[in-house]
A and B are shown apart, each in its own frame.
Chain A
Amino acid sequence: MVSDTSWMRNREGMGLWEHRGKVAVVGWGQSHMDRRWDGVTMDRSCGGLTKEACLKAIADAGLSLDDIDGLITSRETRAEQTWAPRPYFDPPYDTEDGLTYASADWIQRELGLKNVKYLKSDAPYIGPMMGLAAQAVGDGLCQTALVWYPMVNLEGRYGHNNPQNLNQEAPGATAFSLPWGYQNGAMFNNLVVFLQYCKKYGKSHDGLAPLCLNLRRNGLMTDWGYYSLHEPYQLTREDYLNGRVIEEPLVIYDCDRPVNTCAAFIFTTAERARDLRQKPVYVLNHAQNNGRGRSTMATLEEHQEAVASLARKMWEGSGLGASDVDIFNPYDGYLTFTQQFLEGFQWHGVKWGEAHDFYADDTRVEGPHPFLSSGGNNGTGRNRAVLFSDSIQQLRGTAGPRQVTVKADTALAGCNTPDSCGFMMFSKHPS
């Protein structure tokens, strides 16, 4: 699915990013969010929600459709199944494109974009996709890029419709994992790493409770988020500790909830950004990890080294250090791996093994350590884009009730997992 990784900043020693401060995010749009698509309402299909998010982002930036000359997206929508064999609909919903993903060609056609010269539909997922967009604008492949990331959730129990899990045979690399019950995705390996973490540092699962509760609290201050819209109540510590077990010790509240939604962003040059509606949020660097562990299961030590390397790449390319980062929104799809990012980037001085103590401190947005001010995916539903949109809103000063009270000049955001991720450094200032 991924055609080219040569644009990535995935090695140490690459120096200051050549486009540091010369690319900016000037627009953001978030569609409606449902738990699942109902299979009937086309405006709430993947394509419908994508159009909604894209038009909102373009309007937010104060641009017209004719200003867009780059289109960037990802096929990784986590639909886990195709719409087929169910019957398709009338055009433009007569293929998977528009129902379980929304390609650049589909959006170009549907929005009637006339001036597009750069189309990319195969970004790996949102973390690297944001870096790809910044790099494309910086490299001059396009001047103003519309970038979107749908998350798709169809009818049925999540994971149980994945064809791989129904197969009696285990081909390819799965031959070394499926026969023992390993389920693909981030959950299993990161749970193993979490167990290794607990063993090494003497920690336990209940140390994640404060993180979960604070993310739900922040998520309830995000008016478009799943819980604000559909289940607007706070969790208690007892709720968390008694949550339905997914895989011991992981409970339902450790897992971001699959949802159906789309977010879109507008990237452009710093020069073009000067005259637009929103205060530009500049990109100071992007960095990626795309490695894997040595053996069947990546280990705690491998993940720690991966994040430490990611941090070194981010500091090197942005010219900033840990103490310069005001807003920090790392991925929280499973709460069991968020601590690796917190400790690896040493945000607010947190060292290896100290994350649970940090979670137990004051991490509210009103407090001194507003960790994951977005509410993350745990607090808003698995849309992943919230990590970036909150960072942008915090720097714009438009985060509303989530607006932090500490300085918000820089923000660091990214996903997905420690060994496979893309992060971006934002700033209110180009240098």
Chain B
Amino acid sequence: MSTIPGLERPAPVPNELTKPFWDACNERRLVLQNCTACARLHYPPAPRCSQCGSPDNFEWKEVEGKGHIDVFMVIRDSRIRGFRSAQPINFAVITLDEDPGINFLSNLPGTPPGEVPMGAPVELIFEETSTGQLVHEWQVVS
């Protein structure tokens, strides 16, 4: 389960497109679609390359899992049931160092709500959801 007290994340349900991504998460690896024709990463997974439009040149590429905090806010009144018992909780946008055009969401486990160091480096971790599916998370590099 999450290391954030009270948090019950909705568990991702893999489908045909996203199964390789979620399977890799369960192996504690972060893999992104890479269009080999365009050398362009995609996240979330897409049915075709956003640049060349082709679905035929995708490979799953493992990325290093280093990023930075772009912006953040604090969720205090979530509409999502599994978050209400964890409020207040951070909600941050993380840019990937390997390609800052790719961004991820994070609740920044280990960082007290509102005490987020803007621009700080973060590293990849994984947290378990109710179905056992791991999800990618980010924590501030101490």
Contacts and interface: CB of A to CB of B under 8 A. Distances in A.
A168 B74 contact: no
B91 interface: yes
A166 B83 CA distance: 10
A168 B130 contact: yes
Interface in A167-182: 167-182
Given A171-B15, A175-B13, A181 B89 contact: yes
Contact of B13 (A160, A171, A246, A299): A171
Given A165-B80, A195-B71, A180 B11 contact: no
Contacts of A294: 50, 101-102
Contact of B91 (A167, A181, A295): A181
Interface string B17-52: 010001000000000000000000001100000100
A160 B80 CA distance: 7
A245 B78 CA distance: 12
A167 B83 CA distance: 12
Contacts of A168: 8, 10-11, 81-82, 130
Interface string A175-206: 11111111100001001100110010000000
Contacts, number: 110
A111 interface: no
B125 interface: no
A172 B8 CA distance: 19
Given A171-B15, A196-B71, A182 B103 contact: no
A426 B24 CA distance: 53
B129 interface: yes
A37 to B, nearest CB: 21
A159 interface: yes
Interface string B98-112: 000111111100000
Interface in A245-280: 245-249
Contacts of B13: 169-172, 175
A258 to B, nearest CB: 13
A169 B130 CA distance: 9
B93 to A, nearest CB: 5
B73 A247 contact: yes
Contact of B75 (A166, A247, A295): A247
A41 interface: no
B107 A296 contact: no
Interface string B59-70: 000000000001
Contacts of A398: none
A405 interface: no
A188 B73 CA distance: 10
A22 B103 CA distance: 45
A245 B76 contact: yes
Contacts of B15: 171-172
Contacts of A160: 79
A183 B11 contact: no
B68 to A, nearest CB: 13
A183 B129 CA distance: 18
A246 B82 contact: no
Contacts of B80: 165, 178, 181, 183
A297 B95 CA distance: 10
Contacts of B50: 294
A245 B77 CA distance: 9
A170 B11 contact: yes
Contacts of B106: 180
A169 B13 CA distance: 7
B80 to A, nearest CB: 5
A271 B81 CA distance: 55
B20 to A, nearest CB: 13
A5 interface: no
Nearest to B104: A296
Nearest to B9: A179
B71 A296 contact: no
Contact of A296 (B44, B74, B79, B82): B44
A111 to B, nearest CB: 37
A236 interface: no
Interface string A154-170: 00000110100111111
Nearest 3 interchain pairs by C-beta: A175-B12, A180-B105, A176-B44
Given A168-B8, A178-B10, A295-B101, 12 more contacts: A160-B79, A168-B130, A169-B10, A171-B13, A175-B12, A179-B135, A196-B71, A245-B77, A247-B74, A247-B75, A295-B103, A297-B103
Interface of B: 8-15, 18, 22, 43-44, 50, 70-83, 89, 91, 93, 101-107, 118, 129-131, 135
Interface of A: 159-160, 162, 165-183, 188, 191-192, 195-196, 199, 245-249, 294-297, 299
14 contacts: A165-B79, A168-B10, A168-B11, A168-B82, A177-B105, A179-B129, A181-B80, A181-B107, A195-B72, A196-B71, A245-B77, A246-B77, A294-B101, A297-B105
